[in-house]
Structure 1
Amino acid sequence: MNKKDKQSQQEFIFGKKNYTIMFTGLALIALGFILMSGGGTDDPTTFNPEIFSFRRIRVAPTLVIIGFALQIYAILLSPKTKKDKNE
């Protein structure tokens, strides 16, 4: 078997389902951080109570935690191999 045959038989570490779940988790993490942003003010002497909104305190961190949980699940999910598909 030559080098070219070995390269063509290489498989990805994760399956398609794993990558789909990973990208979904990544999108949730990004969305959570986007929702957390903002709410500041240009004048440091004024207080803006918008930083304590429900979106920034509850929704955004929950999305980030769910995104990280999906990342862990996608990594731990064992991909189906060709041997498993044939059985």
Structure 2
Amino acid sequence: MAKDKPAGSATLTRDEPAKKTVTTSVVTPKTTTTRSAMSDSSRSIALPFGRQNYTLMLAGIGIILAGFFIMSLDKEEFGFGFLGLTLGPIVVMGGFVLEFFAILARPKA
């Protein structure tokens, strides 16, 4: 007496090659909305940083540029004076620390 196999089970033998199953998917068309149908909140672009972050970033860039300018004011040969070796690099590093802080600071909501 032969037993009926359930519909979902399949056993393969050497004599029977594997049957390929074909799956179909239904593609639904995307609906498009016009500009007039969008709300005002969806039109605004969310910036990754807040106003305070961008202000601090600009200040950091200004401090970095000021440090390089201080280094260029050194009158010693090859910039080996106090301005070129000490003060300028400290100001530049301060600008980079401010940039680091500006990127990691949480924007105020």
The answer, yes or no, to whether TM exceeds 0.5 is: yes
Q: How does 1:7-26 map to 2 (within 5 A)?
A: 7-8=43-44, 10-26=45-61
Of 14-23 and 31-40, the range deviating more from structure 2:
31-40
TM-score (norm 2): 0.56
Amino acid at match of 1:21: L
The gaps in structure 2 that reach 5 residues or longer are 1-36
Identity %: 34
* Aligned residue among 38, 51, 55 for 1:2: 38
The gaps in structure 1 that reach 5 residues or longer are 41-47, 82-87
TM-score (norm 1): 0.69
The number of residues matched between the two structures is 73
What is the root-mean-square deviation of aligned Cα atoms in Å?
A: 2.4
Residue in 2 that maps onto 1:70: 98
Contact kept, 8 Å, 2:74 with 2:82, in 1: the verdict is no
Amino acid at match of 1:23: L
Give 1 or 2 for the bigger CA radius of gyration: 2
- 1 or 2 for the larger relative contact order (CA 8 Å, sep ≥6)? 1
Tell me if 1:33 matches 2:68: yes
Residue in 1 that maps onto 2:83: 55
1:38 Cα deviation after fit: 5.7
Bigger proportion of residues as helix: 1
1:51 Cα deviation after fit: 2.1
Amino acid at match of 2:43: Q
